[in-house]
Amino acid sequence: MKTLIATFFFSGISFLLLAQNGNAPLAGARGAGMAGTGLVIEDIYSSFSNQAGLAFLDGFAGGVTAEQRFQLQEIQLVGAAAAYPTGSGTFGLALSYFGFEAYNEQKIGLNYARLLTDNLSLGAQLNYLTTRIPNYGSAGTLSFELGLQARIGEYLRL
């Protein structure tokens, strides 16, 4: 019973956090195949959803992803990421762009991920977010993200 309650609790947290974001994070083709979630992915696209997954990288990784929703140029989402594992953890950079010339949002993130144990990792990212609307100007702010990822068995991730 405790396991069932914990599962629903942690699932609810994930949905609440995603509901706060107007634009779904870029998760690459693999994440798109999993209904747009990338919380348990352990590759370069973890930079956009759960940075803790970067701790499991074996070597330098880079990726570029793009999406044009409903074939409308105004709803285009583009991102690029790179990460490099070192002895003290994995360092990375993530860039994303949403919009077109009349409205756009950019996000630049510096991330770090580290294995806490063989099956548990922690990740963090510092972001600079900007929004630009012609004739109204632009605004920017800092934000951060924290992520935790656990391997439970061979095929189960939390």
At 31, list the tokens.
């994440």
Q: How many residues does the chain have?
A: 158
Q: Work out the number of other CB atoms within 10 angstroms of the CB of residue 136.
A: 9
> Which percentage of the chain shows pLDDT scores above 70?
87
At 45, give phi and psi (nearest 5°). -75, -5
Q: Reduced to 3 DSSP states, what percent helix, strand and coil does the chain have, rounded to the nearest 5?
A: 25, 50, 25
Is the separation of the CB atoms in 77 and 98 below 8 Å?
yes
**With bands split at pLDDT 50, 70 and 90, how would you rate the model's confidence at 18?**
very low
The predicted pLDDT at position 4 comes to 74
The count of structural domains within the chain is: 1
For 59, the domain range is 2-157
The predicted pLDDT at position 93 comes to 97
Mean pLDDT of 68-82: 86
List the alpha helices (DSSP H) in 65-154: none
The predicted pLDDT at position 34 comes to 75
| Euclidean distance between CA atoms 43 and 59, whole angstroms | 11
pLDDT in tens, 116-157: 999 999 999 999 999 999 999 999 999 999 999 999 988 888
Return the SS3 of 31: helix
The predicted pLDDT at position 10 comes to 67
Regarding pTM above 0.85, the answer is no
Lay out the sheet containing 120-133: strands in order across: 61-68, 76-86, 89-100, 103-117, 120-133, 137-152, 156-157
